[in-house]
A and B are shown apart, each in its own frame.
Chain A
Amino acid sequence: MTEALIDTEFLERLANLRFIVRGRWKGRLSGVHASRRAGVSLEFADYREYCPGDDLRYVDWNIYGRLDRVLVKSFVHEVDLPVTLLVDCSASMSLGQPSKLRYAGRLCAALSYLGLNGLERVGVYPFAERLLPGIPPRHGMRQMGHVLRLLQGLSAERPTAMDEALAQYVAHSHESGLVFVIGDLLTDRGYEEGISRLRVRGDRVVVVQLLAREELDPALEGSVRITEAESAQHLELDIGRRTLAQYRQRLDAELSRLESFLAGLQIPYFLVPTDAPLEELLYRRFRAQGVLQ
């Protein structure tokens, strides 16, 4: 990644977007997102019976006067939203034009900016066959520089083991949040367990599957030596229209399986060709599915 990942004008256009978290959120620090816990904010949450030790400032004296019950007003506790971007850095991410890894880097940069601009904590963790050293979620635009440097230095040259990598993330991270899983998810070593672990822990997961155009619609003909980028295994195949039809059929089945799996976990899923504009994903598709507003 020698070219700049993202340009300022593009980021400025993202300034009016921010993340949406449906329901109450169990955050750690005060922020702008409603927490499942009651706390101090302007947004009324509920009443509850007074307990000794409650702050008398929150006793609703009007209710006491009318009903003769000492109730204490509780407010929504607004917390921040830790946004974690898990980026696949396996060798297969090097494919495509532009490469899937570069597209993922641009997407991460945009999401990081969105998060940091929305006063969220943003962290990035690359992964391949394991979780790789990353940047834990932090506030502030200074974090943006760290994130960009990390993204710029990513290289796609390792095998993939998503289940193991996501399990390590879960063990490594002590708080749940909004987790973007960005990768090609084309693996026969499984991803279901890892994603399920995130979901079980309470993370709000968004899966972005990046695929190159030639993976979605390969234009191959004749004798082809097909080599897997990560394992270097290969096979020789005489490819014609029928062969390509079989491939597409198999790919569609694989994508459908992933979509069904994620739908079962209520995880937003985005299949993104790397030749698709990033703005379309951010402005249209993420907003359409309620990831951004």
Chain B
Amino acid sequence: MILSSPGSLALLATAAGVVILYFLRSRSRRVEVSALFLWRGLKADSEARAATFRERIDALLLLQVLLVIFLAVAIAGPALLRTQSRLGSAAIVIDVSASMRASSVDGVRRIDAARAEALRVLAELGATSTAVVAFSEHPVVVLPPTSEASSVRDAIASVEPTWEGDGSPELLKTILRGLERGGFARVFVLSDRAVGLALPRVEQWVADPSENLGIVAFHVREGAEEGTVHAFLRVRNGSPRQEVITATVGDGTVRSSVEITVGAQEEAAAVVRLWPTDALAFTAEIDVADGFSGDDRRYAALGRPVEYRVLWVGDRDRFVEAALRADPAREVLIEHVEEISASSATDVDLVIARNARLPSTISGNILLLHAALEGSLALREPQPVGAVRALLDHPLLAGVDVGALEVPESPGAVLPDGATVLLASRGHPLLVLWTELDREVVALMPDLARTNLPITVDLPLLVRNLLDHFARTSAPIDGDTETAVGSPVDLARRGEPLSIRTPSGIVVDTGRGVRTFVPEAPGIYAVMTRGGTYAVGVNVPVTESGASPAPIEVPPADDPLPEATAPLPLWGALAALALLVLLLEATLYHRLPALWRRR
């Protein structure tokens, strides 16, 4: 037996206090008589004193002392150390990594074979307590130890392979060692990877190998020629014969194929040129019929700047043009025209008009710099204005020091319905935005040449904000554009993420403060940020493509496995006994006077 707080046994001293108080308390019976003179002067004999003492040592005192002892020992936290007799208990550890999706030569999926083996093991174990653990990149306790065979069967049936890898060998070692030390008499590992079994209680079932042909590496990079992408491929032939594998690389619009001859149990590499392409995401596929399809297609993303085409109508402004070209996220291409007719085609990302009048038929987003838009915005005579005031906290004004702006005059304007005024002065709108048809329109009313905006640092900030407002374009990215299922993707260095579109087309809002996400399936993930959209190619871990991964050696523990012991807390039982004693004492206390009367 152990005590969690032996110091509490000092409370036993209170039992002495109970005894002392008991004897100090007057225990005389009270009797009423008619005449005290009959009793006065009678001599008490020794026999009577002895009887008094015997009477005082009554059950109540013993119960009170017993109560104190029980409580003191209960507070001390006693517990029985008992050896875990879990000889009948077992843990079934099932590999749920992506490779368990593979089929053996006879067409049976590894996971199904593993499930069948697990059920067979369960039947052998009978009614013993069984736990089910699944592991891939991370271990998951599917079912805590239970003796209900039906629950175990349900748990085994619910196990499905993930797209993740096996996880590190250290992880599996930790799992197995932990299970063995946890008192499980038998640990069954069902996997497609051999485990070096130096542990006496660990047994393993290894899935049959499959003949797998897969892409084990896929990268893309821009070629020297503009619009060219070079894709680098490495394929593995897990079959016992030489194979000619046709690999195709594409961006969804353009594709290019190559034939790769790979010897038995060998790997081979190839470079595929893809042209012309300005895409960010690329796919490599091999057309094979093998046991594992997870590595027959791989994804890669490319970080590249994006062309942003601007049509400038009217007077040019070198300050604004410089600010446009300074945007790091876009390669801004500006085309100038003096005027534009209603029938002109405007296949551009943005139309900027300065000191001009745009026809209403123009398509696309519009930035009006002291310019008019037919049917929407008409400018009038300039009016003197003063201090500039921001009416809204809008992303367009992020970082802009509105108070530093100097605008001496601004034309009056008739705004369209639904227009939002962001900046104003003396009731005159200075910066207005609205949405019409399928485009965004932003109008800066005053003539830039008559303000101090071009010579302040607020101009490039405002231009960047305007570009971000008009379009979320593909953003250039640095670092890895490829990752594996189960590996976290760092979002923090690529701007504040807004949402992620998964390969299945589901858009997930990331929420504020999210810096990473862990993809659960292979494919192209589009990450939308405030600075643009970029792609991440997520692939099945390359370790899953191996026909026979390197076995994991699990050495025996350096120290002998201690007997698994578990403390059995006794305080509850003692507290219950104390409660029982308390009830007994209360009952006796109420009954004793009646007993005395009978005597």
Contact = CB atoms under 8 A, between A and B. Distances in A.
Interface of A: 92, 95, 184, 186-188, 211-212, 215, 218-231, 233-243, 246-247, 250-251, 254
23 contacts: A95-B32, A186-B35, A215-B34, A218-B31, A220-B31, A222-B29, A223-B52, A226-B32, A226-B33, A226-B39, A227-B32, A228-B32, A233-B36, A235-B36, A238-B45, A238-B48, A238-B52, A239-B48, A243-B45, A243-B48, A246-B42, A250-B38, A254-B38
B253 interface: no
Given A219-B599, A240-B51, A254-B38, A227 B33 contact: yes
Interface in B342-396: none
B35 A92 contact: yes
A228 B42 contact: no
B48 A221 contact: yes
Interface string B44-56: 1111110110110
A186 B35 CA distance: 6
Most buried by B among A238, A239, A241: A238
Nearest to B27: A223
A33 to B, nearest CB: 36
A236 B36 CA distance: 11
A161 to B, nearest CB: 14
B28 A92 contact: no
Contacts of B36: 226-228, 231, 233-235
Interface size grouping (class) on chain B: 20 to 34
Nearest to A243: B42
Main secondary structure of the interface of B (DSSP, over half): mixed
A215 B33 contact: yes
B28 A224 contact: yes
A10 to B, nearest CB: 27
B38 A235 contact: no
Interface of B: 26-40, 42-49, 51-52, 54-55, 599
Contact of B45 (A95, A187, A188, A242): A242
B27 to A, nearest CB: 6
Contacts of A224: 28-31
Main secondary structure, interface of A, reads mixed
Nearest to B55: A222
B34 A92 contact: yes
Given A222-B54, A237-B48, 4 more contacts: A221-B51, A225-B26, A247-B38, A247-B42
B43 A225 contact: no
Given A222-B51, A236-B28, A237-B44, A229 B599 contact: no
Nearest to A254: B38
A95 B55 contact: no
Contacts of B44: 237-240, 243
A160 to B, nearest CB: 9
B507 to A, nearest CB: 89
B52 A95 contact: no
Nearest to B48: A240
Contacts of A212: 34
Given A221-B599, A235-B40, A227 B34 contact: no
A218 B38 CA distance: 12
Contacts of B38: 186, 247, 250-251, 254
A238 B31 CA distance: 12
B34 A237 contact: no
A187 B32 contact: no
Given A233-B36, A243-B48, A247-B38, A226 B31 contact: yes
A95 B40 CA distance: 19
A230 B34 CA distance: 7
Contacts of A222: 29, 48, 51-52, 54-55
Closest 4 pairs (CB-CB, A-B): A240-B48, A92-B34, A238-B44, A228-B36
A211 B38 CA distance: 14
A289 B30 CA distance: 39
Given A222-B51, A238-B44, A243-B48, A228 B33 contact: yes
Nearest to A221: B51
Contacts of A238: 44-45, 48-49, 51-52
B323 to A, nearest CB: 107
